[in-house]
Amino acid sequence: MVVICRTLPIFRLTRTASLDISFHSALKLVIDVISAVNPTVSNHMQRTACIAQELALRLNLSTKSQSTVFVAALLHDIGMIGDARQLDTLNDIDYYDDPHQQTGYQMLYGFKVFKPIRDIILHHHQHMDNDPEGKASLEQYIVAFADCVERMLPTDDKQLFACASDIIRQATEKYRGHFPDQILTAFRQLENQDYFWFRLELSGLRRVTDIISPVKVTHLDIDQFREICLLIARIVDKYSSFTVTHSIIVGAVARRLAKQYGMGLREQKLIEIAGYLHDLGKIYVPVTIIEKAAQLNEKEFSRMKGHSYKTGEILSEYPALSTVAQWAEHHHERLDGSGYPYHLTKAYLDIPSRILAIADIFTALTEDRPYRKGMSNEQALAIIRQEVDEGKLDADIYQCLAGNVALIDCGMETVRKNYLKKSLPRPAGGIQFSTSMFVPIPLPTK
């Protein structure tokens, strides 16, 4: 039986919880997360985006095509996140059929906001000799060439400007016949453009992408931003193999509880987004602590406790997310002040923060962890009930959970089994994916 908590007070979204965020700001949040997990890949993608954007401008591409090129270049190696291979340099993955391309395609599949770039991600190591039918777009070749050039650049900013002529000469010689002549011509024009080479300095990449981004004026609606937050949740959850669906399920449970509590659709979506982002700070906690198979010692637990504060710190840079950030940061606070990181009491914890706290606990208790198997719903509810009785958690929200646990459990199981369903396409080129997020498998032979 579904229990709707109609007698409870209805939370109304305040003006401070409105959402007005640009596509570039959302992408910057993605890059910030990737930078914490794999700074080498992050730097490579940002410099590739700078090169690709300049080429797109010089080739007089439309504003729409420039945006496609920039976003595709900025995310082209996202498939490297979670890649367990031991690589000396990114040149080790410079193959037409390297699996990181399929992985990146898979991670972005099902998100409408990324539909224009998926095929570029899937084929960004394709050259003209791998494209005998000429199906590749100019945008795809720009990203592929920019990727090649970036891997030729020195990592020492002091050497970059001095090497400009050599890089131009080497790239045009090496890739003549591999890419359209118009791209090579546009690249040669950059030899004496001092600003271009200064923009590629690693120390200033984040500021430069802010300046040159063609999607700063593109604003996202709540569903588009939700998709990007779901991508971020996938990256964060992949950081530890034991929490592979945690953030996604917390978001789903929180949204269901918000619905049962009586909140409107927009409020439900914002709480879901907070659930997706609530564990952002864990990317700054050593994975050895997250995956420790025994109880954490005092020092380790102190380090772990810092993750909710770091979540708020990361999101504080984005004013449009101030309310969502607050909900996410408070998911370990308790009504009696015994939580962390601020030891807030019930007077300072709004309903969404209370919902997220219960959604996080219920999800964590019922999923497998390194040190224990997941509990049954009954066991989890008993533990949460005890915390309610102790004045730590909200009794009304607990009733929403307990009265709808079968429905919520069904939704959780659906997410666990099928949250990658949209990521299992059969893209052009005859590639099929396994149910693992990061392991492509070949099509069966007939």
In sequence order, the β-bridge partners of residue 372 are 369
Lowest mean pLDDT among 186-195, 316-325, 401-410: 401-410
The domains located in the chain, with CATH, are 23-212 (1.10.3210.10), 221-421 (1.10.3210.10)
Instruction: Work out the average pLDDT over 160-188.
Output: 94
pLDDT in tens, 33-58: 999 989 999 999 999 999 999 999 99
Q: How confident is the model at residue 7 (pLDDT cuts 50, 70, 90)?
A: very low
Confidence of residue 15 (pLDDT cuts 50, 70, 90): very low
For residue 24, what are its two tokens?
């570039």
Residue 445 pLDDT? 35
One DSSP character per residue, 203-221 reads GGHHHHHHHH-TTTT-EE-
* pLDDT of amino acid 419: 59
* For range 361-370, the mean pLDDT: 88
Mean per-residue pLDDT, 144-163: 92
pLDDT (average), residues 221-242:
86
Q: What is the mean pLDDT of the chain?
A: 87
pLDDT at 83: 80
- Considering only CA atoms, which of 93, 112, 92 is closest in space to residue 103? 93
Tell how strand 440-442 and strand 21-22 pair up.
unpaired
Q: What are phi and psi of 425, to 5 degrees?
A: -85, 175
Please tell me the predicted confidence (pLDDT) of residue 431.
Answer: 31
Closest listed residue to residue 237, CA positions, set 296, 279, 273:
279
Contact 215, 22 (CB under 8 A): yes
- CB proximity list for 134: less than 8 A, separation 6 or greater: none
Highest mean pLDDT among 133-137, 185-189, 364-368: 185-189
Query: pLDDT value at position 51?
Result: 98
Min mean pLDDT across 10-24, 47-61, 133-147, 240-254 is at 10-24
pLDDT at 91 over 90: no
Helix (H) or strand (E) holding 21: strand 21-22
